Structure 1
């Protein structure tokens, strides 16, 4: 496909204006200055596979997911006026990364060899945030696939620590984040905070070539790097090393990373095969046996919580005998992240015959959540819904419950379908649409208890 056939009407008009200006300048024997191109600079013969011009008033959630990790916020993603804007904001007075939020999106489909490009305007923030156009094997959602194979990360550009450059990394698996290698870095210009630039990269089996506004800036060659499935990302996150000197108030915006369009081409217009062809759909997003001695990223509400020993194991324990108590997993990326479909499981051990304890899901506030409870007073496992402060029992199952015995319980929320297991056997099934998303954690009432082997699996 020829370049001219890929240009939008706006781009064609820009080319016409630029050509007229160039001819006039030549007639005056004065040097002409070419603005960055507004259309594609794909190699000759390459055919379009995927594109988004961000022409609507909202993100196309059929094509993209919003990044859910690394100090980002859904609220910082906006599509308006034909531009995707990823904001960079201060949310607390903390001077580390927890006081700031960026934003990001990633494609739900995976790609491979081909030509990638995006027209982007980068803010001038002197390295306080890390903007990038890159690939990963997962799409940034909760959860993260357990991809036990070598994979590649391609950085078409990264702008941070005072420079903008491209390169690649290889990794052993995404579960341990063990880096195997990193390439040299290729310079990708110096953004001025005002101009759009077209960043491109041609990814081939033996070579990765970088382009800025249609001109090659450098290339990297290799015998081979893992031909892994790749989700395409656009993102900006706080850069921890550069935040300490920022004094702006809470609510301040440090500028936006603006994206006019993004595109992906291949030689034959088809997505090439990768090895393997896709990433797993079922995964463990969070696991904690508390053997580290800490309950990192858990936020307690009421009660007395600590990590202590139970025989040879460490457990997360709540020791208050009275009161309504919670502890919610507080993902640092988004603060009480809005999980939708997931399975939460834990080994729950009660300490007395009164009250109960168990798992909460889709928690939005103390008056709205689902609760899977081991009820020691009635020898039942029960699925409760608390909505606007009113409690409804959705389903229950009678079973003998002995204080001091650990019971493996799990609660799966999948759209309107809610199911619960006790020691690996499904005992409860219910349908309810009251709560569609929310945080998850553990809860008790008038009951000292402990939890161990906590897992959150998605979807």
Structure 2
């Protein structure tokens, strides 16, 4: 059934209340630059609201939690995140933006990134990322996300990126864009993609669509990347859906997490048909990183 309002948090592992060429060109504008920052003390990197001893979904182990955000506050934690304000270009007669005004906490323990129609030919989503604040090499990266009920030219995305993604040697030696989740399809599947060698003429990518039962009919799903020096393993609700072992596709440098609501040409449907209500909003229950 189509949800009419955000559902309450329910999770068995929580104790408290591909792209086409046009997409590649759109992604090129995402890479921002900024000065490096000293890594803050570990105690400030873990949200006090994160359950003690929590492990990645479906795991019983002893991984060390190193960073988390439960989005329980009244505002986005800007010690962890930058909220982007950025013109993202145009396609099909529509100009679209990342707008900081679209990014909020919803008062019920989630990050919310709204979709707005700014004018007849302009729409906006939003993006937060931890570039220059919290960056990681290897680890388990997990987010619990609600994608819009009906994909209409806009999508939820959870991804990693390197600020240094310009090295061109046929590998991800100098970083990669790692798309853990892009809710681009109206069917119950989504693309998992690695982009490398920059976004220009030398750009390369490797993508695969993975099965995602209940993607649109169930409010929340959990997406995870396990990144080691020798593999990228991708999970949907605890099920491994893709593995990459080609060393040319595995980043060897620090990457920063990104949560975004995108308006992209390769997404199914037409953004002009999207309802501008709770069904068009991306919600993120939490994000956590273990090493």
TM-score by length of 2: 0.67
Bigger mean CA deviation after superposition, 192-201 or 47-56: 192-201
Counterparts in 2 of 1:119 and 1:192: CA distance versus 1, 3 Å: same
What is the match of residue 287 of structure 2? Answer: 262
Write out per-residue CA displacement over residues 373-407 of structure 1, whole angstroms, 9 at most, x where no aligned residue.
xxxxxxxxxxxxxxxxxxxxxxxxxxxxxxxxxxx
| Structure 2 gap segments, 5+ residues each | 1-12, 18-53, 89-96, 169-173
Match of 2:129 among 98, 106, 112: 106
Quick check: 1:165–1:189 contact (8 Å CA) kept in 2? no
2: CA distance, partners of 1:243 / 1:165: 14
What is the match of residue 200 of structure 1? Answer: 224
Any idea what SS the aligned residue of 2:115 has?
strand
2: CA distance, partners of 1:85 / 1:60: 13
Work out whether 1:41 is the aligned partner of 2:64.
no
1: CA distance, partners of 2:259 / 2:244: 22
What is the match of residue 220 of structure 1? Answer: 244
Counterparts in 2 of 1:166 and 1:206: CA distance versus 1, 3 Å: farther
Work out whether 1:91 is the aligned partner of 2:118.
yes
| Structure 1 gap segments, 5+ residues each | 1-6, 12-37, 139-144, 267-459
Any idea what SS the aligned residue of 1:45 has?
coil
1: CA distance, partners of 2:108 / 2:271: 34
Match of 2:192 among 163, 167, 172: 167
1:13-92 paired onto structure 2 within 5 Å: 40-41=56-57, 43=59, 44-69=61-86, 70=88, 71-79=97-105, 80-92=107-119
- Alpha-carbon shift at residue 83 of structure 1 (Å): 0.7
Q: Which has the higher contact order (CA 8 A, sep 6+)?
A: 2
TM-score by length of 1: 0.44
1: CA distance, partners of 2:208 / 2:244: 8
1: CA distance, partners of 2:66 / 2:77: 16
Work out whether 1:246 is the aligned partner of 2:269.
no
What is the match of residue 160 of structure 2? Answer: 135
Quick check: 1:104–1:235 contact (8 Å CA) kept in 2? yes
Quick check: 2:144–2:222 contact (8 Å CA) kept in 1? yes
- Alpha-carbon shift at residue 146 of structure 1 (Å): 8.1
2: CA distance, partners of 1:260 / 1:254: 16
Counterparts in 2 of 1:208 and 1:173: CA distance versus 1, 3 Å: same
1: CA distance, partners of 2:251 / 2:108: 38
Quick check: 1:157–1:188 contact (8 Å CA) kept in 2? no
Counterparts in 2 of 1:248 and 1:217: CA distance versus 1, 3 Å: closer
What is the match of residue 16 of structure 2? Answer: 10
Quick check: 2:231–2:244 contact (8 Å CA) kept in 1? yes
Work out whether 1:158 is the aligned partner of 2:182.
yes
- Alpha-carbon shift at residue 172 of structure 1 (Å): 2.0
2: CA distance, partners of 1:8 / 1:124: 23
- Alpha-carbon shift at residue 252 of structure 1 (Å): 6.5
Quick check: 2:191–2:207 contact (8 Å CA) kept in 1? no
1:114-129 paired onto structure 2 within 5 Å: 114-129=139-154
- Alpha-carbon shift at residue 162 of structure 1 (Å): 2.7
Counterparts in 2 of 1:158 and 1:146: CA distance versus 1, 3 Å: closer
- Alpha-carbon shift at residue 63 of structure 1 (Å): 0.2
